[in-house]
């Protein structure tokens, strides 16, 4: 199978997010440290609070979307496994033979048999 066709292949550069979750956490912690340590002018502190808040919300949002995606993928995987098991079980279940409404078939006697019934004792 070609690596690009594999379901576990790494996403291409076009499919990767512009900013990863770890980048958001690094920038968020840097900005929060600057804000707490009074390393920025007071005129920019409101903008920094806003940037930290937006960063925190975006990180939590991305984490929530990722968690839901993983949960959905696992649920689909379990559903497929359950369907596969059901199909295999159904393939191995033998239905009981259908009883014919006719009279039971009497076994045929062979001509060279040691015992040949002479009298009918069914009456």
pLDDT value at residue 50: 86
- Whole-number pLDDT of residue 90: 80
Q: Which pLDDT belongs to residue 103?
A: 63
Ramachandran bin of 38, using left for φ above 0, alpha for ψ from -120 to 50, beta for the remaining angles: left
Q: Looking at residue 70, what is its pLDDT?
A: 94
What token pair was written down for 112? 């060279």
pLDDT at 59: 86
pLDDT of amino acid 120: 65
pTM here is: 0.49
Instruction: Give the ranges where the chain is alpha helix by DSSP (H).
Output: 21-36, 42-92
Q: Which sequence spans correspond to the domains of the chain? A: 21-92
- What is the mean pLDDT of each successive set of 10 residues along the chain, which is 123 residues long? 51 67 82 81 83 86 91 96 89 64 63 62 59
């Amino acid at each position: 199978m070609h690596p690009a066709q594999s379901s576990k292949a790494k996403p291409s550069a076009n499919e990767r997010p512009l900013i990863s979750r770890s980048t958001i956490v690094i920038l968020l912690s840097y900005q929060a440290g600057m804000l707490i340590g009074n390393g920025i002018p007071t005129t920019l502190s409101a903008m920094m609070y806003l940037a930290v808040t937006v960063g925190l919300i975006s990180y939590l949002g991305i984490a929530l979307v990722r968690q839901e995606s993983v949960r959905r993928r696992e649920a689909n995987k379990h559903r497929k496994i359950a369907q596969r098991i059901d199909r295999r079980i159904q393939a191995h279940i033998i239905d009981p033979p259908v009883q014919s409404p006719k009279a039971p078939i009497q076994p045929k006697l062979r001509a060279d048999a040691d015992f040949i019934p002479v009298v009918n004792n069914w009456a």
